[in-house]
């Protein structure tokens, strides 16, 4: 946790990216550590947790991080929460809360509210555009005997 906080503070002091850090550990050893690099990379998905997950997967040569834990300087946002579940991490530790983040200007409560709304009521329209070929990709996936399941 100390390393996650150190990375977050370093970013905050430099002012070059968001004040967040994350570390992934397996069997007591740090596998990957990263800070937020959204503004540095011009990438809205470059949160500390997502960056750390990407690094850990590369380091371990896998797309799932079972047997690993993530230490976050702050409670993960909805995007990072989804990434953590997709990565199959065993446990999440965090120190600051989403309320602490909101007080500093990083309020993701609107995303939770948007998810709960019906599609037509969301601030970004979600429009179902059914095409004749839609679903073919899933049929191909289901019948592909060489696919890598996840």
Per-residue pLDDT of the chain (150 residues; tens, 9 = 90+): 999 999 999 999 999 899 999 999 999 999 999 999 999 999 999 999 999 999 999 999 999 999 999 999 999 999 999 999 999 999 999 999 999 999 999 999 999 999 999 988 999 988 889 899 999 999 999 999 998 988
Please tell me the predicted confidence (pLDDT) of residue 127. 87
Query: Is 26 in contact with 68 (CB distance < 8 Å)?
Result: yes
Helices 48-60 and 78-87 sit at what angle, rounded to 10 degrees? 20
pTM above 0.75, yes or no: yes
Please tell me the predicted confidence (pLDDT) of residue 149. 87
Query: Is 129 in contact with 103 (CB distance < 8 Å)?
Result: no
Task: Name the helix (H) or strand (E) containing 141.
Answer: helix 136-143
Q: Which residues are part of the catalytic machinery?
A: 49
- Tell me the CB-side half-sphere exposure of residue 55, using CA atoms within 13 A: 19
Those residues whose C-beta lies under 8 Å from the C-beta of residue 2, and which sit 6 or more positions away, are none
DSSP 129: -
SS3 9: helix
């Amino acid at each position: 946790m100390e390393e996650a906080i150190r990375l977050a503070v370093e970013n905050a002091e430099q002012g070059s990216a968001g004040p967040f850090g994350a570390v992934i550990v397996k069997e007591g050893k740090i596998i990957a550590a990263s800070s937020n690099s959204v503004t540095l990379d011009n990438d809205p998905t470059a949160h500390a947790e997502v960056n750390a997950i990407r690094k850990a997967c590369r380091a371990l040569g896998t797309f799932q991080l079972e047997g690993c834990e993530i230490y976050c300087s702050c409670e993960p946002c909805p995007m990072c929460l989804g990434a953590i579940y997709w990565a199959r991490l065993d446990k999440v530790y965090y120190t600051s809360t989403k309320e602490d983040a909101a007080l500093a200007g990083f309020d993701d409560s609107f995303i939770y509210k948007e998810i709960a709304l019906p599609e037509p009521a969301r601030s970004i329209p979600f429009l179902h555009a059914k095409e004749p070929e839609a679903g073919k990709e899933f049929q191909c996936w289901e019948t592909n005997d060489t696919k890598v399941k996840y």
